[in-house]
Homo-oligomer: A and B are copies of this chain.
Amino acid sequence: MLRVLKFGGTSVGSLERIQNVANIIKKFKDQGDHLVVVVSAMSGETNKLIEYAEHFSKTPNEAELDMLLSSGERVTSALLSIALNEQGYSATSMSGREAGIITTTEHTYARIEKIDTTSMDKAIEQNKIIIVAGFQGVNIQNGRVTTLGRGGSDLTAVALAGALKADLCEIYTDVDGIYTTDPRIEPKAKKLEKISYDEMLELASLGAKVLQNRSVEMAKKLNVNLVSRSSFSPEIEGTLITKEENIMEQPVVSGIALDRNQTRVGMYGVIDKPGIASSIFTALADANINVDMIVQTIGTDNKTNLDFTIPSGDLEKTKKVMQNFTNDSENIDYNDAICKVSIVGVGMKSHTGVASKAFTALANEGINIRIISTSEIKISMIIEEKYAELAVRSLHDAYQLDQ
């Protein structure tokens, strides 16, 4: 089988860690697998190079920044290849260029445009292990080095797996898979064996940090079987992220996510004139503020209340925008002491009573729900932050996720 493996910065953070990665690779090779390995820069290296660049410029020339930053991954790929060759395994490093990764022209946040697999196909045919420097490609217009922005090495791995029609794309980090909830909050949390792309996307956008949405979206689009597993515990199988159809027994709920990084904005006694909500949310969008949950309640006297949430980091920006709307309402307040708990599961679509079970569970603990929003595979609830852990644990219990 053809396996694409990706190892992030902490997994290759020292020479010892790089040897550990070599050991993982050797085990798969001994099984007879074909392997394409994508590596990040050793942890700390990219930040060091950014600091160097910022010594000279607060806004470094972006094409040059890409030339600079792409070197970290090249170093790791060469070192890993040296280690493997020394230990009797035929390996070859490839830069993004050599791997045939052609991108758009936006330096520092380029998108992969196409992949010319000629060189990789040839190396695989020669039974060589390919070690690709992640996070980089070349500008389709002038051939200069580009980088892919945050999560770029994951993206490289998924894109290569898609282009090579790999059987698996395994993303190695320091956690061993996707859990039903954060085990630091609920020790009974269980590692999921499988989860659908859509559930993973919801969990990621709700704060699960393991995989970034950009990679999961691409995996979904290219139909790549993605695995989240740990380079520190390679004996643990990890979690497969795949098509819904590939998951035989779909549980109703797959996981509980918690996002503390939310602030609630309350706008009271809004004069109910046409287009007022539209102008508020347009102004917030123009300021690049990602409004999440919105609830409008109709009051008396032709007035309404408007509740919505924003990322806590955007609070000051939001206050500035909202100053333009002070005349449109009686009062505006901001509450940072809230959090969002979410229930995610594709099974919800075909099961009734999922939401009511959640509301009951929280009510039993005396937790008030301030805002509710639902989608086909998700229910999110805004509650007081002090109840965060209690809410997660009681929901985990209510859906028997420890079973």
List chain A positions with a Cβ less than 8 A from chain B: 15, 18-19, 49, 52-53, 55-57, 60-61, 63-65, 67-68, 70-71, 74-75, 77-79, 81-83, 85-86, 92-93, 95, 98, 143-144
Contact = CB atoms under 8 A, between A and B. Distances in A.
Contact of A15 (B15, B56, B75): B56
Interface of A is mostly: helix
A15 B68 contact: no
Given A52-B15, A98-B144, A83 B57 contact: yes
B81 A61 contact: yes
B56 A86 contact: yes
A398 B86 CA distance: 58
Contacts of A71: 71, 74-75, 78
Contact of A64 (B15, B49, B82): B82
Contacts of A67: 74, 77-78, 81, 93, 95
7 contacts: A49-B75, A52-B75, A56-B83, A57-B82, A65-B82, A67-B81, A68-B74
B56 A79 contact: yes
A139 to B, nearest CB: 11
Contacts of A144: 98
Given A85-B64, A93-B64, A15 B55 contact: yes
A81 B18 CA distance: 31
A83 to B, nearest CB: 4
Nearest to A75: B71
Contact of A79 (B53, B63, B74, B83): B53
A82 B53 contact: yes
A57 B86 contact: yes
Contacts of A18: 56
Contact of A85 (B55, B61, B75, B77): B61
Contacts of A82: 53, 56-57, 60-61, 64-65, 68
Contacts of A75: 49, 52, 68, 71
